[in-house]
Amino acid sequence: MLLIVTVSAFGQAKIEYLEYDLKNGMHVILHEDHSAPVVTTAVMYHVGAKDENPERTGFAHFFEHLLFEGTENIPRGEWFTIVTSNGGSNNANTTDDRTYYYEVFPSNSVELGLWMESERLMHPIINQIGVDTQNEVVKEEKRLRVDNSPYGKFLESIKLHMFKKHPYKGTTIGKMAHLDAATLEEFQAFNKKYYIPNNAVLVVAGDIDVNAVKKMVEDYFGPIPRGEDIIRSFPKEDPITEPMREKAYDANIQIPAILAAYRTPSFKDRDAYVLGMISTYLSDGKTSKLYKKMVDDKKMALQVGAFDFSQEDYGTYIIYGLPQGETKLDDMISEIDEEIIKIQNELISERDFQKIQNKLENSFVSANSSIEGVANSLARYYMLYGDISLINNEIDIYRSITREEIQQVAKKYLNPNQRLVLEYLPETE
């Protein structure tokens, strides 16, 4: 049972873990690391914005807030007080695919962390006062992060056109009118359906005694009844075969933006890793191809970038630019396309290839350089990728990708007839 630390070929300590299932279907992952006297207790639920009723969007994100309201044994408003008074910190976040809650405590409070997360799962209080309170909190978050934030709606605008059938066409924060219209019973039903042990993974990572923690996990989570199995069947998108051109308007900006978006495969797909390398090549840092060309040399852009917004079912590959001076948006697209065509027609240099590899290796190591990061990775690789060993092996995938593969993947996905070009413009009265 003792977990042994070994060293990988890349100089990073291999992350050892123990995983097993409780009788109620909850998956448990334990990682023992005595390098610092801290412990992270985390639960990831396989529920995100894509699981919502299209007439009740925003539920998944709403629950991220609602489930801090209190439980049968944690008085309303006391959750954060308990955490901070015991020297801890906590947070939660939601995506289209999952919801994640975690606490970081001094290691002598591991039992407290487990008790709190079991309370969230077994004894949540979902009442009207909690719903009303968090409704206002979520509205304020939307105002701050989306409605009044420069370029805050660009992803929403892209998703709307990229996805016609799959629920990725919506936003994680959802529509406030849907939350306003929802009844208390609807919130309770959502909790009953998705917040069940067989739709969750529990991770305990850090300065722990594995045998002692195993007993605590059984004591706190074992009695929680299994929920009904969740059946998911999302509609498949038709391939994009014709170019799309659209406009979106934002009252919070003065400088327009141009965005090119391509639909790409799930982040589990090898091609998604290759696309990640292409975005590093094009726009990661001031020596990257697009930045050097369009910002430094030609002075066409104030900012330019590429990123692979990859998710469990599909990804969206986005390249964007903000023009400088009188630069036309179409001229920026032409310059971007020129760089993509180069990748499609010739192999990138060995030097550039090595630079990409080094950057990705660094980011892989840094993602797992803290106990908090390790806990997140363990939960994510298990639940969303279905392969927990990626916490040690994902870098091997990047190492196995060739320059020829980069060329092939660019040819496969990054073509003008497979994309949306979005003009993101200042709103004028």
Question: Any idea where the domains of the chain sit in the sequence?
Answer: 6-221, 244-426
Encode pLDDT of 28-59 as tens digits: 999 999 999 999 999 999 999 999 999 999 99
Encode pLDDT of 301-336 as tens digits: 999 998 888 999 999 999 999 999 999 999 999 999
Task: Please state, in angstroms and as integers, the Cα–Cα distance from residue 275 to each residue in 160, 258, 304, 306, 337, following that order.
Answer: 22, 20, 17, 10, 15
Cα(117)–Cα(6) distance, integer angstroms: 31
Q: Work out the widest C-alpha separation in the chain, in whole angstroms.
A: 67
Q: What is the pLDDT of residue 429?
A: 63
Looking at 83-228, which runs of residues are DSSP E strands? 89-94, 99-106, 200-206
Tokens representing residue 315 in the block: 């990804």
- 6-221: CATH homologous superfamily? Metalloenzyme, LuxS/M16 peptidase-like (3.30.830.10)
Encode pLDDT of 166-221 as tens digits: 999 999 999 999 999 999 999 999 999 999 999 999 999 999 999 999 999 999 99
Cα(113)–Cα(103) distance, integer angstroms: 6
Tokens representing residue 230 in the block: 């969740």
Looking at 266-397, which runs of residues are DSSP E strands? 301-310, 314-323
Q: Do domains 6-221 and 244-426 have the same CATH topology?
A: yes
pTM of the model: 0.94
Alpha-helical segments (H) within 57-144: 59-66, 79-85, 110-122, 128-142
**Strand pairing report for 244-250 and 200-206:** unpaired
Residues sharing a CB contact under 8 Å with residue 156, sequence separation 6 or more, in sequence order = 146, 171
Cα(239)–Cα(237) distance, integer angstroms: 6
Q: What is the pLDDT of residue 283?
A: 87
Burial code of 11-34, b = ≥16 C-beta within 10 A, e = fewer? ebeebbbbeeebebbbbbbbbbbe
Residues sharing a CB contact under 8 Å with residue 3, sequence separation 6 or more, in sequence order = 16, 17, 18, 30, 31, 32, 210
Instruction: Label residue 284 by pLDDT band (50, 70, 90).
Output: confident
> Which one is predicted more confidently, 366 or 261?
261
Q: Taking Cα atoms as reference points, which of 275, 232, 249, 258 lies closest to residue 48?
A: 232
**DSSP secondary-structure letter at 198?**
G
Q: What is the pLDDT of residue 12?
A: 61
Beta bridge partners of 245: 421
Phi/psi-derived region of residue 11, left when phi > 0, alpha when psi is between -120 and 50, beta in every other case = left
Note whether 306 and 279 are within 8 A (CB).
Answer: yes
Encode pLDDT of 85-139 as tens digits: 999 999 999 999 999 999 999 999 999 999 999 999 999 999 999 999 999 999 9
Asked if residue 2 has pLDDT above 60, the reply is: no
Tokens representing residue 253 in the block: 């900006």
What backbone phi and psi angles, to 5 degrees, belong to 140? -65, -40
Note whether 29 and 201 are within 8 A (CB).
Answer: yes
Asked if residue 11 has pLDDT above 70, the reply is: no
- Written out in words, the top-level CATH class of the domain with range 244-426 is alpha beta
